Structure 1
Amino acid sequence: MELLKQMCNIFAPAGDEGKMKSFILDYVNTHKKEWKAEPKIIEGDGFQDCIILVFGKPTTAIFAHMDSIAFTVKYDRELVKVGGPRIKHNYPLWGEDSQGPIECEMSVPEGSKKAYYKFDREIDRGTQLVFKSDFRTSDDFVQSCYLDNRLGCYNALKVAETLENGIICFSCYEETGGGSVGYLGKYIYETYGVRQALISDITWITDGVKHGKGVAISMRDRGIPRRSYLNKIIALAKESNIPFQLEVEDAGGSDGNQLQASPYPFDWCFIGAAEDNVHTPDEKVHKNDIQAMTDLYKYLMEKL
């Protein structure tokens, strides 16, 4: 889990994904010659901080968002949410401003819905702060902030090791409603004719989705994937004998929603391990579900 641990410690809140982009590019360039197929790397000004990896003759794309939830320093020590992080008194935060590195704590007055920072000086207005990582593993679980979605990116990089034909898109801005998937989808549809996708992201432990029961295939959340494509995914998952669970929710969203809102005829399905303690420093995922996630992605990318 060393790779995942490194990724959970990288500062990459929504809108400031540059460090994660650099990490992934370095990792790909270091390891690509060890992979079954060497990808074409597409990135640069026209793609902002996103990365596209193209393997062979692709028919399906994996989307994994690099950004995390965070907080922005407002006025009078107040913190504004980036995405939907949970707030709690004394949560550890870190970042950097013009005056230097910052390690501080969150302050939530009793009965208040607002969060503030506790630090020995004023932090520059507009500074982004993220949860401080405390990466823990046990026989069964891994626990840290930002498993959503460093684990989705980790999964994509593990799939890349054996991928012969396919595309992996590392996207930005997902935690704040999207913004990069539209042009990524446009590029891969118009350049490669790819119009089906898997969303490598992390979902929630709920009444119907449990730890250790396999990767979750989402039949719907706020978005609804096309049923014929969903049925094909489920049939392949059954054929694979890899453990999986079916998820049905009425809230939540992902890069899949942005693909559905694009002017391109994409089919998509969210497939990911489920976590407890969502959007906190203590997100928790079962190791068997991580393995099932990677195994199912490898199988689907061969069959779709």
Structure 2
Amino acid sequence: MNSELLKKLTNAYGPAGNEEQIRHLIQTEIQDYVDEISVDRMGNLIAIKRGNGKRVMLASHMDEIGVIITGITDEGFLRFSNIGGVSPYISLSQRVLFSNKTIGIIGMEHLEDMKKLKLEKMYIDIGAKNKEEALKKVNIGDVASFYSSFTALGDFITAKALDDRIGCFIAIETIKNLKNSPNELYFVFTVQEELGLRGAKTAAFSVDPDIAISIDVTSTGDTPHAKHMAVKLGSGPAVKIKDHSLLSHPAVKNLMINTAKENNIPYQLEVLEFGGTDSGSIHLTRSGVPSGVLSIPCRYVHTPSEMVSKEDVENAIILLTKILENEI
């Protein structure tokens, strides 16, 4: 597994709406392996491998959750709001990184009852002595991502932004592995998924695919006293049955399951009771697109320390490659 590439992808700065750095990294990595590459008006990166068969869209989102500055106090502390699903409890005392490399620490006002903790009761400390000094580094509307390091933990990996840089990684490695495909393949690296599947919606309208598969993370039920969910790390990539945004099309679901069975690739079935992926907007595009999702089991989603299994990732690459090698 190309850990150095995954490290670059997860370390890259790219909160929703600010995907320029991660988009450039991906474009540089794949440009020699595709027939055509472009960036649309929304900022989606679209890479095409030409073929004569059905038009297949593979979607992985580039963006990550983050925070946006809403105000600066006279004492130099930054008030902020969320970009995507940011929990106040998980964010407390975490470090954040701005595009200009300024680093801050998330703190909170004194509270007698931690149950009342909300983002409006929190602030970011960038070490400024007053508002004037803070304004030299950060302004209202500036955006930050969480700041944490990529770490290998035996068979597992932990890093920020594995949601969904791991999907981008799988798409990149699949592009490299594919020698020939009878299908017309559109690998789309989307923007603003964390803000409501926005980039995928416009990209799908442009691509007008016959079928679509998103590659994203999903939650697990394999930690102590976890909420019940029949997905765990190390048991293979998961074929989505349903989430809050999508009921997977039977043909796409069965395509993934049958290909896994035929090639002895381990897989799991996923029913997610909340959340959604790019396929949630893709399948409603134009007159409808048969859509599904290949999910990577991930612990601690939407935290600075998301965790996935190397084996699940490698098997996802194998499965996606096998699917695309054959006529769909």
Q: Same fold (TM over 0.5)?
A: yes
Q: Structure 2 unaligned runs (5+)?
A: 129-133, 222-228
- Do the aligned residues in 1 keep the contact of 2:255 with 2:323 (CA within 8 Å)? no
Distance 2:193 2:287 in 1: 19
AA partner of residue 300 (structure 1)? I
Q: CA deviation at 1:91?
A: 0.5
Which of 18, 21, 25 is residue 20 of structure 2 equivalent to? 18
Superimposed CA distance per residue, residues 17-75 of structure 1 (whole angstroms, 9 cap, x where no aligned partner): 1111111112223xx2xx4xx421122xx433211111121532210111110000112
Equivalence for 1:256: 279
User: 38, 41, 53: which is aligned to 1:47?
Assistant: 41
Q: Which among 173, 195, 210 is matched to residue 210 of structure 2?
A: 195
Rounded Cα–Cα distance in structure 2 between residues aligned with 1:142 and 1:203: 15
SS, match of residue 199 in structure 1: strand
Q: C-alpha deviations, 1:165-207, integer Å up to 9, x for none?
A: 3220111110000222222112222xxxx31011011111123
Instruction: Find 1:177's aligned residue among 173, 193, 196.
Output: 196
- Report SS of the residue matched to 1:276: coil
Are the equivalent residues in 1 in contact too, given 2:259–2:319 (CA < 8 A)? no
- Normalising by structure 1, what TM-score? 0.90
1:95 equivalent to 2:78? Answer no
1:249 & 1:183 partners in 2: Cα distance? 25
For 2:210 and 2:191, locate their aligned partners in 1 and report how far apart those are by CA, in whole Å.
Answer: 20
Asked if the contact 1:52/1:167 (under 8 Å) is kept, the reply is yes
Summarize the alignment of residues 1-304 of structure 1 with structure 2, pairs less than 5 Å apart.
1-29=3-31, 32=32, 35=33, 38-43=34-39, 46-57=40-51, 59=54, 60-75=56-71, 76=73, 77-87=78-88, 88-96=91-99, 101-109=101-109, 110=111, 111=114, 112-114=117-119, 115-121=122-128, 122=134, 123-163=138-178, 164-165=180-181, 166-189=185-208, 194-206=209-221, 207-222=229-244, 223-303=246-326, 304=328
Unaligned runs of 5+ in 1: none
Q: Secondary structure at the match of 1:2?
A: helix
How many residues align? The count is: 289
2:203 and 2:275 mapped to 1: Cα distance? 21
CA pair 277-52 structure 1, distance change in 2 beyond 3 A: same
Match of 2:240, SS?
strand
Alpha-carbon distance in structure 1 between the residues aligned to 2:272 and 2:189: 25
Structure 1 match to 2:225:
none
Q: CA deviation at 1:230?
A: 1.8
Q: Percent identity?
A: 25
Provide the secondary structure at the position in 2 that maps to 1:265. Answer: coil
Deviation at 1:101, TM superposition (A): 3.4
